[in-house]
Structure 1
């Protein structure tokens, strides 16, 4: 067996070194926090068998299911392609004359807003069954809102995930300031998991000091464990997760840092509404997690179309919890409400009343 020690500023960076040198078959023997030259870091001891012995796994029900799922990966990719082809074939068959003039106008509007073809097909099929029905009867079940407030989200731990540049850090600060203004006695802790190297860390620390909020840094899973021990001191702990690079996905990252052990952790996916279709699908796959609880849309004042809000709701089934817009950190975020989402989609009206051109 080959064994080696890897050191880096964060668990993520150290784990990446392990995978790069020892491969996916490496076994993690230890994962601990170290201090070098006054800076905290992570040390991982990993090992890999030089000559792995390929033995047949026990013929249990669990192993049979695991093997079947692994073999189905190629089939799932093929089925995804088939579904795309089916949608392409169905779209020409969407006879718009079977809809009422009002339904037709609404469907054409949603198409201009870049609503995905799969969503449009679902809407068309529902409307075709009830030519006199309102399009809102079809859309209402798709989009739900659960406003980001302590009352609606009473659990302590909330993490904010999403691609770099989506506005996770500013969203976290905006929500913390809003909650503190509305409920001054709420005990809030801001935590950063960017490894102490990113600009977001300085922003969080700065506003935590100005607003009288607690501030913590997460560099390794030991820091997550310490934060869990302190949880009783706070009503809400808001954690800023870093953008995920390479092939790392959200589930792997949370397991690496031990976030899956946090009680009732809610992860809120922070996205912009102007990603391309390919980017959107990539992010949905990369940030897939059983702990995802809601979607927060940011930079609404910078977008031209809002169809992605409907696409995400259809693809994930997650409620929208907040809507962010503008450059300032105060009065630039609103807790989500279904009527404000529909005004945004159909009237291009931001939560503050401004109308997007």
Structure 2
């Protein structure tokens, strides 16, 4: 059993994982005062297995060790999948498609739609030259507009990699809903451990807009917010960027949020991450509570195929589209038509054409 202290809970949890490993059990998580400064103290423990005697290295033991190396197998499987897709691509014979279908397929490839998605679309088109490209695309992407009527859960949490625009999207949506329904009681909550620019932005706009503001530093803070949630109609929670190999499931468990059935989580992403990054994000942010994807910084992107790629890989609907530098009138509740106009016509949600 060991005690870990850090400026915030995210840093303390990272220390626990680095020292005791992923099997560590969190015994307590609280805020204390150390030398006049508040910090997070986590007590964690791990049960050590008895040390096994050295075994003789044989062919079978080497195979067993290799089979237990799951990371290596995952990497190898990823390479195999890439090779399979490389073999499939020559089989996508565009000459079997009608001229319109072929033109659409070539356009999607230029927009960085990946081979797996292109193969699915091709299989839906090749047997019917009269089939519209939209008939093949419609089942691949869905939208659930970010509006109170569609998201009944009181807690709406925003997660995603650092710099994706979580805090800005949260503030934009809160201001949009407050403008449309002034009587809505909204609370902005930050879970970044009491540090960082995002916390200051949330607090600033909460004060300017007459919204409540709360800080979540430990799981006790979140439990307290749950108890007082009856005061609010909607609670927007800004989750921190996750360090290292920490997954969303691990972080949510640390703060007791997995026991909150009244919470929906939204993954905030930009269209211009690399394919490898999107694959890592899909694994890192996998959670049963994850309910939608919010796309930000659309006006800075060169292609939009990643929106379709992520929809196919995650099965999550798109809930909001964000663009521009200002906080007002710079986010729209997403619709499928809006996404298709963005992909094929480069039309921003506000009607502007992206060059």
Give the corresponding residue for 2:118: 120
What residue is the counterpart of 1:162 in the other structure? Answer: 160
What residue is the counterpart of 1:85 in the other structure? 83
Counterpart CA distance in 2 for 1:72 and 1:304 is 36
3-state secondary structure, aligned to 2:117: helix
Alignment of 1:108-257 (within 5 A): 108-257=106-255
1:341 maps to 339
- Which deviates the most, 244-253 or 15-24? 15-24
Instruction: Give the stretch that moved more between structures: 91-100 or 28-37.
Output: 28-37
Which residue pairs with 1:102 in the alignment? Answer: 100
Q: Hey, what does 1:8 align to over in structure 2?
A: 6
CA distance in 2 between partners of 1:151 and 1:100 (Å): 42
Q: Which consecutive segments of 4 or more residues in structure 1 shift more than 6 A? A: 69-73
Residue of structure 2 equivalent to 1:66: none
Q: Distance in 2 between matches of 1:156 and 1:102?
A: 46
How many Å separate the matches in 2 of 1:190 and 1:324?
19
The equivalent residue for 1:272 is 270
Q: Pairwise CA RMSD of aligned residues?
A: 1.8
Distance of 1:27 and 1:151 partners within structure 2: 39
Question: Cα offset for 1:40?
Answer: 3.8
Contact kept, 8 Å, 1:12 with 1:256, in 2: the verdict is no
**Equivalent in the alignment of 1:330:** 328
Native 8 Å contact 2:8 2:195 kept in 1: no
- Cα pair 2:187 2:214 within 8 Å, conserved: yes
The match for 1:29 among 12, 27, 30 is: 27
Give the corresponding residue for 2:57: none
CA contact (8 A) 1:41 1:219 kept: no
Q: CA deviation at 1:286?
A: 1.2
CA 264–53 in structure 1, closer or farther in 2 if over 3 Å, else same: farther
Change (3 A) 1:186 1:38: farther
Secondary structure in structure 1 of the residue aligned to 2:173: helix
* Alpha carbons 1:33, 1:222 under 8 Å: kept: no
1:207–1:37 Cα change, 3 Å: farther
Question: Could you say if the C-alpha distance between residues 72 and 166 of structure 1 is closer, same or farther in structure 2, counting changes exceeding 3 Å?
Answer: closer
TM-score, with normalisation over the residues of structure 1? 0.91
Match of 1:314 in 2: 312
State which of 238, 241, 261 in structure 1 corresponds to 2:259. Answer: 261
CA displacement at 1:75 relative to structure 2: 5.2
Instruction: For residues 179-231 of structure 1, give each alpha carbon's deviation from its aligned partner in whole angstroms, at most 9, with x where no partner exists.
Output: 00001111100001111110010100000001010000011111110111011
Q: How has the CA–CA distance of structure 1 residues 38 and 235 changed in structure 2, closer, same or farther, with 3 Å as cutoff?
A: farther
Distance 1:50 1:292 in 2: 34
Superposition pairs of residues 41-52 of structure 1, within 5 angstroms: 41-49=39-47, 52=50
Within 2, Cα distance between the matches of 1:137 and 1:53?
A: 60
Q: Would the aligned equivalents of 1:11 and 1:256 in 2 still touch at CA under 8 Å? A: no
Q: Look up the SS of the partner of 2:31 in the other structure.
A: strand
Residue in 2 aligned with 1:58? Answer: none
Give the CA deviation at 1:71.
8.1
> How does the TM-score come out when normalised to structure 2?
0.91
In the alignment, the residues of structure 2 paired with residue 27 and residue 300 of structure 1 have an alpha-carbon distance, to the nearest angstrom, of: 41
Q: Deviations over 1:295-326 (max 9, x none)?
A: 00000000110000100001011000000000
